[in-house]
Structure 1
Amino acid sequence: MSDSQINKGVSVISEEVCQQVMGRANAFTAVENVFSAMAKKTAYNFPVIREAIGHADALYGFKSGFDREGMVLGLKSGGYWPSNMAKGLTNHQSTVILFDPDTGKLKSLVGGNYLTAVRTAASSAISIAYLARKDVKVLGMIGAGHQSTFQLRAAVEQRNFEKVVCWNLHPEHISNLAAVAEELGLPFESVTREELCAQADVIITITSAFEALIEKDWIKPGTHIACMGTDTKGKQEVDAKLLTVAKVFTDELAQSITIGEAQHAIARKLIQQSDIVPIGEVINGTKPGRTSAEDITLFDGTGVGLQDLAVAALAAELAEAKGLATYFKL
């Protein structure tokens, strides 16, 4: 923390300011860098705390960590309130708290709702960039909630998709995703889950499901799947047997096998921990990603605290440089 910031106090970066300063390209680079640092063991996440609080059907918790390369220390506090949409709020609510690694002093408070959406989308986009075939044409979206529009916008920047197909548990919510596809100039179709798998070359699952929505036998060779919704014990989006025929990658191994999509295949001893590759290894070139056009690749995006810290630290830096931060002293 510089002397000038110490004099100003703690910076506060609002949701509105985060939206002004943090774009998809910035988020992609920040998350890519932190995945690389995690693979090199220069950044690490602390154990996640995530619990059902017994009120409003909410899940609440903390994700935290330290990036020694980026000198970023902090935590994200928040969770999932499923009834928020009816109140005009997003279901995911969070705040990122950054500390000075040299002194432990509180450094910044950063709105986490928008940043959670863009960093999650950046994560799946990175998986597409490194693992999907170059000639993919059809993008499949399982889920049409708030985060799905962020996922769609980020995904189409990685490949030349020609069509989007979608399934959602509540079909009435699909119109929001359809509107984004239209804005992007992409044909859009609402289909069954089985038909989606038959058409899609890349599939993004972004739901809060606790049961498999995709069966192993529905997936065609060469498909890339980004499982982005499973981040809690018991959640599940795809058939556990699918992980036995896919090359499996993840953001963080420890979370993948305990709270991520791989938890079910691991629990049933269908795969071993050694079968899962951190995507940072692929980014760094120390492990291969896709090795043939026939490979089925699956990215288990559990969502790590270091992602949140990376985008929040960058948002704070950009906001402070542009004079958009506000300050207070404790």
Structure 2
Amino acid sequence: MQWIDELSVKKCVDRKAAFDAMKAVFQAMDANHAQSFPVVREAIGHADALFGFKPGFDRDSMTLGVKAGGYWPNNHQRNLANHQSTILLFNPDTGQCEAVVAGNEITALRTAAAAAVSIHALAPAKSKVLGIIGAGHQSAYQLEAALDTLPFEQVLGWNHRSGRMRHLQAIAEQHNVPFVETDLTHLGAESDCIITITSSFSPVLLDSHVVGPTHIAAMGTDTVGKQELEASLVARANCFAELPVQSAQLGECQHAVSQGDLAVGDIQCIGGVLSGRLSGRHGGEVTLFDGSGVGLQDIALARAALRA
């Protein structure tokens, strides 16, 4: 059995590997070759922490595993990331544990790669302006992956606390792309693609903000009650997700579904677009990728780390 720590993950898994792994696992999920098993997620009654397990099996890559971890909101007092996770990989023929893989870097890489895959598949033709909402730890991964994916000519940024986007400006400048911190009205009207990566429990991006053909990768909502987009914006978008049922329960689509403005059957699998089964974008509409995250993504990238 092998142990792969965070430093080793950073050395042997890059953004391209993450992109390729997400594309493959989304296609396997759409073809019913990969299955997510029931998720356990509970408050442990100590340190205000949430802890859970996300198991799954991908028959295409013969990858069996489980992501274990959760959220410790007071970890910043210990100079630790609030999100902590570890991935266990098992031999699908014998059940033996093959590897224990540190999961924090993998979580960040796979979340950004999932958004990048959606941009690759659903962005309006000749997209030039990228909007990013949020300036937390995950935002840097999101921006790097998006700028790898399309030749954006400008990045527009917004955060609920202004002046905290200097690290994003530095990343954009490294890619020779101008960065402008702006308001949501300007960002929504001018952006061809928008990434939302916040921990908000109330709408940040409103229906009235988004004008013209736009792709939105909503990556922050992964829990019942969270919300980044106004429900009416979600309702008018063509919605895609890793797992539509999960999206309707705890992803960005949950609010439009609960209000009766969107049906679970209206949410389509992103893997269907990647495989060519679904057409994806039709023209000038708003498309939405609801990236609530599944354990199969972490397991797929952990397998890539083990192979590397």
Fold shared, TM-score > 0.5 on shorter chain: yes
Higher mean C-alpha displacement, 159-168 vs 174-183: 174-183
The corresponding residue for 2:214 is 223
Task: For 2:31 and 2:15, locate their aligned partners in 1 and report how far apart those are by CA, in whole Å.
Answer: 24
State which of 112, 119, 140 in structure 1 corresponds to 2:131: 140
Select the structure of larger CA radius of gyration. 1
The corresponding residue for 2:117 is 126
Could you tell me how far 1:18 is from its partner in structure 2?
Answer: 0.4
State which of 35, 46, 61 in structure 2 corresponds to 1:44: 35
For structure 1, the 5+ residue unaligned runs are 1-9, 319-330
Residue 31 (str. 1) matches residue 38 (str. 2): no
Classify 1:81/1:179 alpha carbon distance in 2 versus 1 (closer, same or farther; 3 Å): farther
Classify 1:176/1:82 alpha carbon distance in 2 versus 1 (closer, same or farther; 3 Å): farther
AA aligned opposite 1:235: K
The corresponding residue for 1:298 is 288
Could you tell me how far 1:136 is from its partner in structure 2?
Answer: 1.1
Task: For 1:202 and 1:171, locate their aligned partners in 2 and report how far apart those are by CA, in whole Å.
Answer: 21
TM-score normalised to structure 2 length: 0.96
AA aligned opposite 1:19: K
Residue 213 (str. 1) matches residue 174 (str. 2): no
Could you tell me how far 1:287 is from its partner in structure 2?
Answer: 1.1
Could you tell me how far 1:172 is from its partner in structure 2?
Answer: 4.3
Classify 1:220/1:15 alpha carbon distance in 2 versus 1 (closer, same or farther; 3 Å): same
State which of 270, 279, 302 in structure 2 corresponds to 1:312: 302
Higher mean C-alpha displacement, 47-56 vs 215-224: 47-56
Task: For 1:50 and 1:313, locate their aligned partners in 2 and report how far apart those are by CA, in whole Å.
Answer: 23
The SS at the match of 2:165 is: helix
Task: For 1:259 and 1:268, locate their aligned partners in 2 and report how far apart those are by CA, in whole Å.
Answer: 14
Equivalent positions of 1:64-213 (< 5 A) are 64-213=55-204
The SS at the match of 2:195 is: strand
Classify 1:59/1:140 alpha carbon distance in 2 versus 1 (closer, same or farther; 3 Å): farther
Classify 1:41/1:242 alpha carbon distance in 2 versus 1 (closer, same or farther; 3 Å): same
Could you tell me how far 1:273 is from its partner in structure 2?
Answer: 1.1
Task: Give the share of equivalent positions with the same residue, in percent.
Answer: 48
The SS at the match of 1:261 is: coil
Task: For 1:53 and 1:18, locate their aligned partners in 2 and report how far apart those are by CA, in whole Å.
Answer: 28
Task: For 1:55 and 1:147, locate their aligned partners in 2 and report how far apart those are by CA, in whole Å.
Answer: 26
Task: For 1:51 and 1:81, locate their aligned partners in 2 and report how far apart those are by CA, in whole Å.
Answer: 12
AA aligned opposite 1:137: K
Paired residues of 2:239 and 2:288 also in contact (CA < 8 A): yes
Could you tell me how far 1:159 is from its partner in structure 2?
Answer: 1.3
Q: For residues 274-318 of structure 1, what are the alpha-carbon distances to aligned partners after superposition, in whole Å with 9 as ceiling and x for unaligned?
A: 1111001111111110011x1110000011110000000110111
Paired residues of 1:249 and 1:298 also in contact (CA < 8 A): yes
The corresponding residue for 1:255 is 246
The SS at the match of 2:292 is: coil
The SS at the match of 1:203 is: strand
TM-score normalised to structure 1 length: 0.90
Paired residues of 1:134 and 1:159 also in contact (CA < 8 A): no
User: Once superposed, which parts of structure 1, at least 4 consecutive aligned residues long, lie more than 6 Å away?
Assistant: none
Higher mean C-alpha displacement, 190-199 vs 220-229: 190-199
Higher mean C-alpha displacement, 148-157 vs 166-175: 166-175
Paired residues of 2:231 and 2:255 also in contact (CA < 8 A): yes
